[in-house]
């Protein structure tokens, strides 16, 4: 596994070189979109309508539309020049209790591993967090955004988890259906609900939770393969197009050469009589 970011954890006068690795992955079954008529995979192009051609990633920059049709252009070097301590470091701001943070704030998890010459300092922070039971609140700049994050012990490593800022979490008060929930609940109804919760209460074991949808979908796909319910995809043959183009060019050259040859003069003869 390759690290996606290199930097340092910084708090007080302590600097710990670290490497960042993605901690989670999606296991959803992915589909390609095909044209229903010919079963050819659909292509998604980054196309410039002004230049009328497809673009590669090196030709694309980020633009902030501050007025309709007017943009401020920002390139990678512009982001790197931002006067932020979090550009290449994880800046620890506070230490708090995990129980104080609502799960709605959590976004994406990353494993942290010690960088060059950072093993002892990394282990020191790991052990200090483990024994105090605290987690760190930090800021870190990833890709094009300064993220709020937590830093905590997870199994045998430090885990960084990006978070939403408070102004990014919507207020449920804006949902009309949640207004006026003043409904009378009978005491026996509440008692039954609590009893049901007690009966279903168990120790959290993540291994027991699996995706029934993914399992059923996999079985459906395998059944279709076994029954030979397979569509042959009509792939675009670039090489064939090149050959056809060459043939067309050759034919065009021959035609133009024939057209350029001087025509032999017509022989004058007697007109045929009827």
Question: Domain tally for the chain?
Answer: 1
Residue whose structure tokens are 């993540």: 206
What percentage of residues in the chain have a pLDDT greater than 90? 35
Average pLDDT of the segment spanning 141-161: 92
Average pLDDT of the segment spanning 79-97: 82
How far is Cα 233 from Cα 40, in angstroms, rounded to an integer? 6
Top mean pLDDT of 9-23, 146-160, 258-272 is at: 146-160
Task: Quickly state the pLDDT bin for 94 (edges 50, 70, 90).
Answer: very high
Identify whether 215 is part of a domain. Answer: no
Query: Residue 139 sits in which domain range?
Result: 5-24+43-167
Burial 116-146 (b: 16+ CB within 10 A, else e): eebeebbeebbeebeeeebbbbbbbbbeeeb
Q: Flag the least confident range among 78-87, 127-136, 199-208.
A: 78-87
Burial (Cβ within 10 Å: 0-12, 13-18, ≥19) of residue 95? middle
Residue 270 has pLDDT above 50, yes or no: no
Q: How many CB atoms lie within 10 A of CB 153?
A: 20
Do residues 108 and 24 touch, judged by C-beta distance below 8 A?
yes
Do residues 23 and 159 touch, judged by C-beta distance below 8 A?
yes
Identify whether 149 is part of a domain. Answer: yes
As given in the structure block, the two tokens for residue 21 are 């690795």
Q: Flag the least confident range among 78-82, 147-151, 232-236.
A: 232-236
Identify whether 68 is part of a domain. Answer: yes
Identify whether 105 is part of a domain. Answer: yes
Residue length, the chain?
274
CATH number at residue 71: 2.40.290.10
Residue 86 phi/psi, 5-degree rounding, is -90, 5
Task: Please give the model's pTM, rounded to 2 decimal places.
Answer: 0.69
Q: How many CB atoms lie within 10 A of CB 182?
A: 5
């Amino acid at each position: 596994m390759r690290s996606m970011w290199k930097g340092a954890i910084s708090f007080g006068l302590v600097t710990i070189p670290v490497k960042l690795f993605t901690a989670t992955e999606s296991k959803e079954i992915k589909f390609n979109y095909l044209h229903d008529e010919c079963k050819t995979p659909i292509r998604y192009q980054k196309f410039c309508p002004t230049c009328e051609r497809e673009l590669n990633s090196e030709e694309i920059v980020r633009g902030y539309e501050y007025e309709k049709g007017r943009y401020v252009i920002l390139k990678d070097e512009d982001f790197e020049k931002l006067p932020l301590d979090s550009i290449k470091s994880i800046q620890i701001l506070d230490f708090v209790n995990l129980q104080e943070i609502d799960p709605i704030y959590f976004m994406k998890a990353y494993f942290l591993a010690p960088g060059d010459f950072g093993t002892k300092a990394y282990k020191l922070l790991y052990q200090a967090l483990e024994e105090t039971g605290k987690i760190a609140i930090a800021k870190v700049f990833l890709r094009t955004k300064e993220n709020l994050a937590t830093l905590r012990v997870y199994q045998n490593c430090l885990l960084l988890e990006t978070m939403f800022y408070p102004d990014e979490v919507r207020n449920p008060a804006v949902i009309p259906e949640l207004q006026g929930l003043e409904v009378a609940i009978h005491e026996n109804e509440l008692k039954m609900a609590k009893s049901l919760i007690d009966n279903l209460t168990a120790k959290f074991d993540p291994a027991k939770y699996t995706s029934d949808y993914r399992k059923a979908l996999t079985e459906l796909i395998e059944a279709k393969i076994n029954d030979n319910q397979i569509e042959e995809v009509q792939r675009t043959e670039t090489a064939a197009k090149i050959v056809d183009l060459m043939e067309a060019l050759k034919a065009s050259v021959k035609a133009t050469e024939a057209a350029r040859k001087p025509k032999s003069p017509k022989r004058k003869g007697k007109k045929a009589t009827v």
